[in-house]
A = this chain, B = another copy of it.
Amino acid sequence: MDSVVSLADKLTLIDEHWSPRIVATVNEQEVKLVKVLGEFVWHDHPDTDELFLVVRGTLHIDLPDGRRTLRAGEMYVVPRTVRHRPVADEECHILLIESAGTLNTGEHTDSALTSPATWL
């Protein structure tokens, strides 16, 4: 991928919720865009931290010690092994950074929400 990536342009191509799409890689990390709405499943990632940056809307991240709320232009890193549940009351657009190959539902490899990331 040797081109300038417009987050807004890429987001217009996404028509599913909770389906992460890869838009770049940097040092074995994948940069993904996701549209989310509603409650995701509680899960964790044993081997990767996960950075959430909200591009549009509001995202809640439920954590064992309570809820964080991120608005557009705000980010939060969920450390590896920490259980978390993303929640969006209205559609929210997110940029994620995590190790290449990370499955969105963590240990729930056969959840209805499980969606292996593909390039956009």
Contacts and interface: CB of A to CB of B under 8 A. Distances in A.
A49 B76 contact: no
A50 interface: yes
Is chain A's interface secondary structure helix, strand, loop, or mixed overall? strand
Contacts of A25: 49, 77
A67 to B, nearest CB: 11
A26 B79 CA distance: 8
A98 B55 CA distance: 20
Give the number of copies in the complex.
2
B27 A75 contact: no
Closest 10 CB pairs of A and B: A26-B51, A26-B49, A7-B73, A6-B74, A5-B75, A27-B49, A4-B76, A4-B74, A26-B77, A24-B77
Interface of A: 1, 3-8, 24-27, 29, 31, 48-51, 55, 68-70, 73-77, 97-99
